[in-house]
Homo-oligomer: A and B are copies of this chain.
């Protein structure tokens, strides 16, 4: 199937932006039916799960223009060309929250929207945090809030965590802590 799909596949690039580009692939499947897929090509990103020494998690209230909403999120940002994911994570954590971390663990990687985009997100847990000052980019509108786990649970029960990467980060954190407690 994958070989058949790559045979005779035609790819166009109707949009080439600063953040992402769009590719449209067309081909015929094994039954001769026409297939068309529109795809976002994205450089990839990082997300940081910042945990304070008292166990609280550092989240941001982030205004997002695409859905036109302020969302509860873990800090995140896109990879710059040639930048290692851990370097991006350290930079974004400092820019968006002011915190610097002494301890870093890579939790996992995941795709945010594999149905239409190739954005791969690298997820890091950061600990031993020390506060500092933020450096927001033009257009960023971010409030930093440290929440106890009970407060995060309450937000979850109320359906107020509406960002897939943040929900995924909470699951990955729980699994990491389970592995820590049994090792």
Contact = CB atoms under 8 A, between A and B. Distances in A.
Interface of A: 1-2, 5, 14-15, 17-20, 22, 24-25, 29, 31, 33-40, 42, 45, 62-69, 71, 73, 76, 78, 108-121, 138-139, 141, 156-157, 159, 161-165, 167-168, 170-172, 174-175, 179
15 contacts: A34-B138, A37-B66, A42-B116, A62-B114, A67-B118, A67-B120, A109-B159, A109-B162, A112-B164, A113-B119, A113-B165, A114-B163, A116-B119, A156-B171, A164-B165
Given A162-B109, A164-B164, A115 B156 contact: no
A3 to B, nearest CB: 12
Given A65-B39, A120-B67, A162 B115 contact: no
B65 A37 contact: yes
